[in-house]
Structure 1
């Protein structure tokens, strides 16, 4: 019998592969991959065809850390969403495929996606 932690990790990996098998990012429509930990949130725009990361932002960036001083993780993820949308617009990308990974579309992940949408990027 496996420990509960190992079972949780296995279930998360299954969710991630189940979601990712249908998502492919291109240079025109990259995959917006989200990673969430207890302290940080990071987002990458990935071109899966060429295997290149086009843009990336996270709460570990100095300017986002300074802007998010004393804010909740949900508010920080909204700042990250607005910043990644800004970087995508600089690269002339207007549409992305949203990859929530193993996480539920709720709370921090939903706030990030909403901020990207509000900035004018189509998900």
Structure 2
């Protein structure tokens, strides 16, 4: 594993430890060079309540690796979370820096009605 990935996973582990103390649903973000994924995970960690990604058929048309696509994923995951009865979450950025696509997804989720 590269040093960069090890550092990212260390940061992710530290933030997830804090989130587990809160005992709330968490909005987890994962990204690759081509896609971005978001999941709402139950406090026990064993159940995915809602998810969205650029692989969804509704979001596949057009570019999937830019800020606009990340915003659409954020709005979609917020809509699905509200349908599942989740309104408050903790944002788990998985060790990624809070800028660019990750920030766009978070802002769109907030505008969609999620509180974090």
TM-score (norm 2): 0.90
CA deviation map 1:28-75 (0-9, x unaligned): x41100001100000000013161111111001111112xx1476100
Query: 1:105 — aligned with what?
Result: 98
1:92 and 2:85 matched:
yes
1:20 and 2:20 matched:
no
- Structure 2: segments with no counterpart, 5+ residues: none
Query: How far did residue 6 of structure 1 move?
Result: 2.5
Query: How far did residue 119 of structure 1 move?
Result: 1.1
Give the secondary structure class of the aligned counterpart of 1:19: helix
Give the secondary structure class of the aligned counterpart of 1:21: helix
**Structure 2 Cα separation of the partners of residues 74 and 50 of structure 1:** 28
RMSD value, Cα: 1.7
Give the secondary structure class of the aligned counterpart of 2:73: helix
- Structure 1: segments with no counterpart, 5+ residues: none
- How many residue pairs are counted as aligned between the two chains? 115
Q: Which has the greater radius of gyration?
A: 1
